[in-house]
Structure 1
Amino acid sequence: MIDILYEHPAWFARLFAALDDRQLPYRRVHAAALCFAPAWRHDPAARAAAPDLLINRMSPSADRRGHGHGILASLQYLESMEAGGVRVINGSKAYGFEISKARQMALLADLGLPFPATRVINVADQAVAATTGMRYPVVVKPSVGGSGAGVLRFDREADLRAAVEAGQLDFGVDQLALVQEFIPARDGHITRVEVLDGQYLYAIDVPVTGQSFNLCPADLCDVPEPPTAPIVVDGACPVALPWAGRRASQAHPPQAIIDAVVRMTSAAGFDVGGVEYVVDDRDGQPYFYDVNALSNFVADAPAVIGFDPWEPFVAWLVGVHDAAVSERRAVTA
């Protein structure tokens, strides 16, 4: 049996359909409605009902859809499943990095990889002081977040100070925020590199404007005309990247970048995930700034990268599931 921990059903319709096509038994476990016994692993009946494989597809932007109470609860759920011997895809270690941009930056520092100048704060009054020694513009973002939710850019100290006084900073579900230097993107794009099971899968260039921070790759499709007022999108990725003017395109990052991405995702315990980096238009230096365990994969993938990444992902899942079933049988024999 496969359990899928998820929060946003539309993002994983392809996964559900693929498992249906292969007639693999699975259960959907909604992260906003968890109920589990901490001592389940000591109950023979509960152990028999446990899944062979748990696929973690929980989103750190769940609070933008009214499911924020599932974010931290999911970490304890994953830890409980692992303690009972369940094989978990993107388990508690990976998820711990997924829900903490502060932890991600610390990992990059430990690996000696470049990232934007960053300070972590837990109260808005520290925001201006946190920019000491940084170049403006700066961005302030929740440590727990996704799809660009809550990210604000400030071009001047006076603008940041005004936002602090107006109570406009977003500290997210754990009340931590990052203050970072904004990196102007060379050639108007960032690059996202996806990995699967410690191997490079593909990369895409995602167009950016420097004003919108929603770079959800699954929803890069037709681009609307520039709006005359800010768009507020219900907490989820919008259907299209706002006013960027062009689609995502296949990227071919240098081998050194690919090697660095594999290093950081392996160190973070990712089975599957993506890393985003930007080349600073001022000096040509690449900076890593986001490590994502939740991979939705690029929309219209065959047209963009020449293949459908869901196919190798699901084929790999089938192999992992088969191995988990065999291991469980051996343990109980």
Structure 2
Amino acid sequence: MGVSTLKRMTEPRVYIIHENPQWIPPLAAAFAAEGVPIESWSLTDGSIDLSAEPPQGVFWSRLSASAHTRDHGASKEYGRAVLRWLESWGRTVIDGSRVLELEVSKAAQHAALRRAGIDVPRTIAVFGTADLSRRARELPAPFMSKHNQGGKGLGVRRFDSHDEFDAWVSGPDFEPSPDGITLLQEHLAAREPFVTRAEFVNGELVYAVRVDTSDGSFELCPAEACALPSAADEPPLPMFTLRRDIDPALIAQYRGFLAAEGIDIAGIEFIETVDGRTVTYDVNTNTNYNPDVEAESPRSAPREIARWLGSLLPALAQV
């Protein structure tokens, strides 16, 4: 959808900026249930007149670090241009250009979390490949390698020896990050085989999700579209379940972090380790919501989003 289409719409609405239509239907259903008008704006092609005024509305960015896995690698750059354009006209932008930079860079997330006083894993950012093997030896094995621009846990690997890592780097299976930055990270041993994802809307906790990692997978996308097939006669065990025993002090830290970084809607992932640490390792500003958790929770995250963004529209109709 280009700006000419946007300009024909006079009623303020919520514009969902994205590059993956598979993630839109659950959100559209929530907005419809709340009676909030929306328009889907797919940033995979199109055009805008930079001197033209955008329509009134609330613009919610759901651009994703994993866009390159859907052949939409340029959507990050499209988003940078569109969000800056909207912000230059004073439009209401949720998770705008500053937040997009966090979404597409785990190094930026690490710096922001550390600045907020939140425990993060020791991480070495390597630019290119020449320094990978040398810097990896600064971490004891086992250790992790991941893409700086990731998503869904893609590109995350565990190495049990430095020789194994060297063979991977020099071999045909090496997969570079889309931005050329590889992160080497300490291995965090979980006290129990799960991680936790805390979901926030308007900077407030909606619910926390316990994510089972007992199968050793790092691909933890909660969306229904990401679900792996199971045997036809065996319903899958839920990988995502509601978690209620979250430390309020940790949530307060996260709320402060989100406010400081201008993040309104996000999922924050952390792990509780065998040595007593609570380590935060990912901020997902393109968060998706698992249907099993939604069914279990007394509050629906998409409905909370729809209510909140819908509440911003009446004031815009007067402008």
Band of TM-score, shorter chain = 0.7 to 0.9
In the alignment, which residue of structure 2 is the partner of 1:190? 195
Q: Is the 8 A contact 2:272 2:279 kept in 1?
A: yes
Q: Deviations over 1:36-55 (max 9, x none)?
A: 12322xxxxxx2x5242111
Q: Is the 8 A contact 1:6 1:56 kept in 2?
A: yes
Match of 2:307 among 304, 312, 315: 315
SS in 1 for 2:228: coil
SS in 2 for 1:33: coil
Between the aligned partners of 1:50 and 1:56, the Cα distance in structure 2 is 16
Matched letter for residue 300 of structure 2: D
Match of 1:138 among 139, 143, 155: 143
1:239/1:7 CA distance change after superposition, 3 Å = farther
Between the aligned partners of 2:158 and 2:229, the Cα distance in structure 1 is 21
Q: Is the 8 A contact 1:5 1:56 kept in 2?
A: yes
Is residue 241 of structure 2 the alignment partner of residue 249 of structure 1? yes
Q: TM-score, normalised by structure 1?
A: 0.84
In the alignment, which residue of structure 1 is the partner of 2:226? 237
Between the aligned partners of 2:157 and 2:285, the Cα distance in structure 1 is 23
Deviation of 1:97 (Å): 0.6
The count of corresponding residues between Structure 1 and Structure 2 is 302
Between the aligned partners of 2:34 and 2:166, the Cα distance in structure 1 is 56
Between the aligned partners of 2:311 and 2:113, the Cα distance in structure 1 is 31
Q: TM-score, normalised by structure 2?
A: 0.87
The range that moved more, 19-28 or 191-200, is: 19-28
The range that moved more, 115-124 or 19-28, is: 19-28
Between the aligned partners of 1:246 and 1:18, the Cα distance in structure 2 is 23
Q: Is the 8 A contact 1:141 1:171 kept in 2?
A: no
Between the aligned partners of 2:247 and 2:142, the Cα distance in structure 1 is 28
Task: State the identity as a percent.
Answer: 28
In the alignment, which residue of structure 1 is the partner of 2:3? none
Which structure shows the higher helix fraction? Answer: 1
RMSD over aligned Cα atoms: 2.2
Q: Is the 8 A contact 2:197 2:270 kept in 1?
A: yes
Q: Deviations over 1:284-324 (max 9, x none)?
A: 21110001111212222344333322222211110122233
Q: Is the 8 A contact 2:99 2:285 kept in 1?
A: yes
Equivalent residues in 2 for 1:55-74, closer than 5 Å: 55-74=60-79
1:267/1:34 CA distance change after superposition, 3 Å = farther
Which stretches of structure 1, 4 residues or more, deviate above 6 A after TM superposition? Answer: none
Between the aligned partners of 1:184 and 1:191, the Cα distance in structure 2 is 14
Between the aligned partners of 1:164 and 1:135, the Cα distance in structure 2 is 17
In the alignment, which residue of structure 2 is the partner of 1:9? 21
Q: Is the 8 A contact 1:189 1:205 kept in 2?
A: yes
| Unaligned residue ranges in structure 1 (runs of 5+) | 41-46, 220-235
1:62/1:179 CA distance change after superposition, 3 Å = same
